[in-house]
Amino acid sequence: MSSEARPRSVVLVRLALAVVTAGALLAALLLPWVGGAGLLGRASVPASAALPVELTDDVPGNTRVLAADGSLLTTFYANDRIPVASGQIAPVMKQAMVAIEDARFYQHHGLDVQGTLRALVTNAAAGSVRQGGSTLTQQLVKQTLLQTADTPEERQAATEQTPGRKLREARLALALEETHSKDEILTRYLNTVYFGNGAYGIQSAAQRYFSVEAADLTLPQAAVLAGLVQSPANDNPIINPENAQARRNQVLQRMFDLGVITDRELASVSAQPLAVAPSPGSPNGCIDAVVGGFFCAYLQQYLEQRLGIGQGALEDDGLTIQTTLRPDMQVAGDQAVLKTVPMGDPLAGMYTAVEPGTGHVLAMSINRRYGCGGPECESVVLNTAHSQGGGSTYKVFTAAAALDRGIPASHLITTGNPYVSRVYKENGRPYVVHAYAAADIRTMNMEQALYRSSNTYFVALEDQLGSIEGPVRIAERMGMHFTVDSADEIIAQNRGSFTLGPEPTSPLDLASAYSTLAASGTRCDPTPVTSVLDRDGRPLAGADGSPLVPGDACTPEAVRPAVADTLAQMMRKDVEPGPDPRQTGVAAYVPGHQIAGKTGTSQSNFSISFIGYTPEYSASVMVLNPKGNQDVGGGGSGRCAAIWHDAMLPVLSGQPTAPFPPADPSLAGPPSASGAAAAYGTGADRGAGDEDAGDEEAAN
């Protein structure tokens, strides 16, 4: 046989096979109409109500995570898809797709015997796929069932080469054509089909290959994308530009043959070199978040643990999640932390802000990058982790318990240094505490002891309370959680060190607890989300039909307003400049605003803290080594207060803030005769240098 005869014989064999195959398919397709109530007879076409929901629900897109101002933080998806309306797709894109995939789309009713036969013959003769065999409606059915398959069995059923699958697709295509307009079907197809390079749907494809919107696609771009559907990998214009250009020109030729474009357009565009402008596509997950990667991770944990929205729903259900994050506060917090604690430093600096009265988490900053690899990276949300202690920030809980019992802010106590407790024990012996040098003043009232951060005063105040239960319970009511030892265990052991804050502490807990004071005693549980909408824009509902996100979870008067307001006025003296140089939080002060706050330094300087608040904002700052114990140096009055100032300066400077309510006169007024100047423990009982003397809180 000659060399010329061989190709001719191959073509003849292909044509023969195509004719046989087409004939069999034609017989199967015609049988229902010539044989009565056949498999595809009109009586067997499912009603619209019997169509799978995958074919009737809106096409699911990427789950969108929005900041408080509506800007996009990130998306979640298994398939990168951004559904668009018909009017958001360039008409030339629709024309190109119909021309190459289903030229008789507007003439048939879901099945096209003539088109199928022609495609089989054309493709067999060419030795490659030149024209689609199934209608666009059939392809839409197949793609939808395949992309929504949840099990290997469902995926196999959607792709197996059997007459049963073809017949099922045909039946569903007929039903779909009866219930949807041609434009609806074409738009759904363009939003569903895979274009390669990770792009599902025309909008993602337009962005990934050409960095444009689907509405702005040009003729050459539309021809490239229409040509991708049959073989996305082989005709990828980024990886295989020669193949893509040849396929583009096939699409253009087909559009010309059908009278869609002119000969001038065909010649002009076909002669153009292939041009692409790739983009990375949609962000996916918290690692790609525009800002607030750790906030995003906290949100994801919250959605799964509190609302039951897992990874699968995030990736597949096309939700819209409205969060509480304020990008301006997040960016300001990021910059403030990095200014003081550089990226990659072994010490982690954490800034966490919440809104009093709602519990909305506004920002979570840290000198780390979320989810990557390297020394500057971290996957744990340290803003919510209970690691080191909060130091003297816990003195506020003891002060709150005392005020709640009616002991006023002016209550005087005289102590020795060291102070030997008459109530609390450590290792079977009386608990002993030393005064921080700058706070070594023997007689103070509660307000002075709070802003000077006196260790001895507050252990003596615990003595007067008689038990640690009051401070622990009021800390819980304010929003604190104890994860290493429970509140009941701390109370059972009657730990006198509680007021000095050795308990592992979450930065978010501190910001939340102090926000209870900022809101005049109303505690609101921290939340990163205000609403979750389904793909149709309706609030996502739980099993009982109620919205999954019910609203802010607040408890009025978790702390008596008189106590909360009095504490705010007391702690203003820790931050706002005054006559006493011993205040510890002045570095956080922003001129023109009322700010209350408290510093803290844990035992051995393993962590330092500052929590400051206004009536509108509450934010904590902690600096520590999350990998192990390390003396971080200094106290909360230094780096932590400076971070708070730098983070809040642009926020507070741009708006007026309300003043705090006045202190309750009965809690701020002069001491009662019975409570004035009570002298406790002069230190004569034990030597100041006793090795068992506990110095739980080394500084402020």
Task: Please give the pLDDT value at position 38.
Answer: 40
Spatial neighbors of 342 by CB under 8 A, at least 6 apart, are 367
| Residue pair 700/597 in contact by the 8 Å Cβ criterion | no
Q: Can you tell me which residue has the tokens 């048939």?
A: 108
State the Cα angle at 250 between 223 and 279, rounded to 5°.
Answer: 35
In sequence order, which residues have a C-beta less than 8 Å from that of residue 253 and are 6 or more positions away? 266, 270
Report the C-alpha gap between 450 and 261 in whole angstroms. 81
**What does the pLDDT read at residue 126?**
60
Q: Quick check: 490 and 526 in contact, CB under 8 A?
A: no
Q: Is 354 helix (H, G, I), strand (E, B) or coil?
A: strand
**What pLDDT does residue 554 have?**
97
Residue 55 makes CB contacts below 8 A (sequence gap 6+) with: 140, 141, 144, 172, 176
Half-sphere exposure at residue 663, Cβ-oriented, CA atoms within 13 angstroms: 21
Instruction: Say how far apart CA 89 and CA 458 lie, in whole Å.
Output: 69
pLDDT confidence of residue 120: 58
521-538 burial, b if ≥16 CB within 10 A, otherwise e?
Answer: bbbbebbbbbebbbbeee
User: pTM for this one?
Assistant: 0.86
pLDDT of residue 442: 87
CA 431 to CA 424: how far, in whole Å? 6
How far is Cα 324 from Cα 468, in angstroms, rounded to an integer?
Answer: 35
Query: In the prediction, which pLDDT does 115 show?
Result: 62
The pLDDT of residue 127 is: 60
Structural domains in the chain, CATH included, are 5-44+77-270 (1.10.3810.10), 391-504+673-700 (3.40.710.10)
pLDDT at 151: 81
Per-residue model confidence (pLDDT) at position 318 = 95
Tell me how far CA of residue 596 lies from CA of 576, 593, 640, in angstroms.
8, 10, 14
Residue 324 CA: distances (Å) to CA of 328, 358, 693: 12, 10, 46
Q: Average pLDDT by consecutive 10-residue portion of the chain (700 residues)?
A: 49 48 48 40 50 84 97 97 97 98 94 69 58 82 85 77 83 92 97 96 98 98 97 95 97 97 96 95 96 98 96 95 98 98 94 98 97 87 95 97 97 94 93 80 93 95 97 98 94 95 97 98 98 94 89 96 98 90 91 96 93 98 94 87 97 90 90 39 30 39
pLDDT of residue 117: 65
pLDDT attached to residue 356: 98
